[in-house]
Amino acid sequence: MSNTNKVSPHYLGHRKRLRERFQKAGSKGLQDYELLELLLTYALPRKDVKPIAKELIKRFGTFGGVFDATIEELEDIAGVGVTSAVLIKLVKEILCLYLEERMRKKDIIASPQLAVDFARVRLSGLCNEVFMVIYLNTKNEVIDHEVIHEGTVDKAIIYPRRIIESALNYHAAGLLLVHNHPSGHPEASDDDKKITHTLLEIASAMDIKIVDHIIVGKNGYFSFAEKGLLS
């Protein structure tokens, strides 16, 4: 006679406890790897995902580093697979949309952290330097945003004329400039300062205000407005 009393996998009870802890205390109730573990249970319902979650954080260094990784890099981890990789990247894209929505219809000068949060999530994990412009109306509210230039690992060539032409097409009264430093260090270089002052002069001649230039990296951000470098 066959034994019909099947033993449930050990990780099922663990998953239940993770969900209950999250329901009670949110993210504060779980460690980083446990949050990632809980997320992976929705892509891998019949597998112990704790070792995978720990390996992801070990490979990419931090919780945020996992979400900054490419789908190909994620799939390179044993046990992840395309479904889990897509789920992880989907979470980041949803967060970007959430932060973009929070930023819209808000006075960016009065609430600069909204732009910083959006910029850091949108650009900080990219391998190459990217220059983005956020277009503002007369109330300093976001009209739209656009990646103007994509460069190499340490440089993005900026064409001021193109930025001003795009601003005029959007009927923008103001611009918030954003770019990333893939190295992780957001401090402004001499080239960053030169292009900012060039853009300030050209935009001013067109009666367009540059409200800030934000540089983002994994180690934080640099704001020209906060440092008093927009005069």
- Letter string b/e over residues 102-136, b meaning 16 or more CB atoms within 10 A of that residue's CB: ebeeeebbeebebbbbbbbbbbbbbeebbbbbbbb
> Picking from 6-10, 77-81, 107-111, 175-179, which range would have the lowest pLDDT averaged per residue?
6-10
pLDDT (0 to 100) of residue 159: 83
pLDDT digits (tens, 9 = 90+) for 71-91: 999 999 999 999 999 999 999
- Reported as type and span, the H/E element at residue 176 is strand 174-180
To which H or E segment does residue 136 belong? strand 130-136
Spatial CA neighbour of 140 closest among 175, 113, 166, 168: 175
Distance between CA atoms of residues 205 and 94, nearest Å: 38
Here the contacts of 78-87 (C-beta below 8 Å, separation 24 or greater) are: 78/52, 79/44, 79/47, 79/49, 79/51, 79/52, 79/55, 80/52, 80/56, 81/43, 81/44, 83/43, 83/44, 84/40, 84/43, 84/44, 84/52, 87/39, 87/40, 87/42, 87/43
Give the gyration radius of the chain's Cα atoms. Answer: 22
| Predicted confidence (pLDDT) per residue in 134-157, tens digit | 999 999 999 999 998 876 555 666
* Contact by Cβ (8 Å): 156, 133: no
Question: Tens digits of per-residue pLDDT, 197-230?
Answer: 999 999 999 999 999 999 998 889 999 999 999 9
Q: CA–CA separation, 223 vs 119, rounded Å?
A: 12
**Mean pLDDT for the chain?**
89
The pLDDT tens digits of the residues spanning 8-23 come to 566 677 888 899 999 9
Residues 27-44: tens digit of each pLDDT: 888 999 999 999 999 999
Tell how far CA 177 is from the center of its chain: 16
Domains, the chain, in order of start with CATH, read: 11-97 (1.10.150), 107-223 (3.40.140.10)
pTM equals 0.82
More confident call, 126 vs 163: 163
Local confidence band at 7 (pLDDT 50, 70, 90 cut-offs): very low
The pair of three-digit structure tokens given for residue 56, joined into one six-digit string: 């992801």
> What's the token pair of residue 125?
């994990």
**Backbone φ, ψ for residue 222 (5° rounding):** -130, 130
Provide the pLDDT for residue 53: 96
| Contacts of residue 80, Cβ cutoff 8 Å, sequence gap at least 6 | 52, 56, 74
Collect all residues with Cβ–Cβ distance below 8 Å to 198 and sequence separation of at least 6. 160
Q: Which residues pair with 215 in a beta bridge?
A: 179, 222
